[in-house]
Amino acid sequence: MKADYKNWVPKGMIYGLVAGTGALGAGLAAALVLTKDAPAPVRIGVNAVLGLGTAACGKAAQWSVYAYNQFSYNGKRRMSKQIIEGIAEYVILPEGGTGLDVGCGSGALTIACAKRNPEAGMVGVDRWGKEYASFSKQLCESNSRAEGVDNTSFVQGDAIHLDFEDGTFDAVTSNYVYHNIAGVSKQEPLLETLRVLKKGGTFAIHDIMSEGRYGDMQAFVDILRKKGYEKVHLIPTDDGLFMTKTEGKRLMLTGSTLLVGRK
């Protein structure tokens, strides 16, 4: 059995957008016939709304298929694999230690870190909600088995309030999670993740850290340094490291950055 890490673009989203484009297009075709003799403002208004809706939905469907193919573990580009393996390189665990992957999804990063640190353990936490319906705890566990990895465990939880004591883990990591969390400053889940990291532990956190989402990340880094954190760096990954600038723009991943360091 081969591991199946699914895709960051859910298949349901693609099917929904394709079906929506078809339905809107059919509605437009019907409206063109039915409003033929209607007063001009009604005819133009109805057809313009349906025409614009069809075009927008079609564009979104086209984008989702493109993104799906770029991210796919089975495609040519395999960008997800490149990103996951790139982050895992920074997750270093001592023998007998334990690391945490926040928002582990299908377990890809948890398992990649567990493979690189066979003498340590990795815990993956995720809320496994409706928006990523193909990801689940069972999927993470079956992916671990498929990879022949037995130093992982997975628990349900919320990145905003991690159910772990301060300083529980020897390393913490996360990939493309916090930008999904609505209604909070994205620095909040970052601080929550660092709360559960031991003094001396390493962190490697990757996300779209654009100013609009995260605020001033350089100031955040300065605060961590003042608190005594070491080797804290922001590494842009949308400029060749994990993707080209063009890919970043097309996939709406501009601002992708890796925050690394030691507590």
Ligand X SMILES: C[S@@+](CC[C@H](N)C(=O)[O-])C[C@H]1O[C@@H](n2cnc3c(N)ncnc32)[C@H](O)[C@@H]1O
Name the residue nearer to ligand X (CB basis): 54 or 202: 202
Q: Which residue has the tokens 């097309």?
A: 250
Q: Kindly state the DSSP code that residue 114 receives in the 8-state scheme.
A: H
DSSP H/E element including 27: helix 11-34
The amino acid at 235:
I
Q: Shortest Cβ distance from residue 170 to ligand X (Å)?
A: 19
Residue 130 tokens, joined = 């409706």
Encoded one letter per residue, x for contact with ligand X by CB under 6 A and - for no contact, window 116-135 reads ----------xxxx--x--x
Q: Shortest Cβ distance from residue 230 to ligand X (Å)?
A: 25
Encoded one letter per residue, x for contact with ligand X by CB under 6 A and - for no contact, window 54-93 reads ------------------------------x---------
154 binds ligand X (CB under 6 A): no
160 binds ligand X (CB under 6 A): yes
Q: Which residue has the tokens 């079956």?
A: 142
Q: Helix %, strand %, coil % for the chain, to 5?
A: 45, 20, 35
Q: Shortest Cβ distance from residue 225 to ligand X (Å)?
A: 26
C-alpha to C-alpha distance for 214 and 227, rounded to whole angstroms: 20
- First-residue to last-residue Cα distance in the chain: 39
Residue 71 tokens, joined = 């991210």
**Of 9, 28, 109, 251, which lies in the binding site for ligand X, with binding defined by CB under 6 A?**
109
Footprint of ligand X on residues 175-204 (CB under 6 A)?
A: 175-177, 180-181
Q: State the residues that interact with ligand X by CB under 6 A.
A: 8, 84, 103-106, 108-109, 126-129, 132, 135, 158-160, 175-177, 180-181
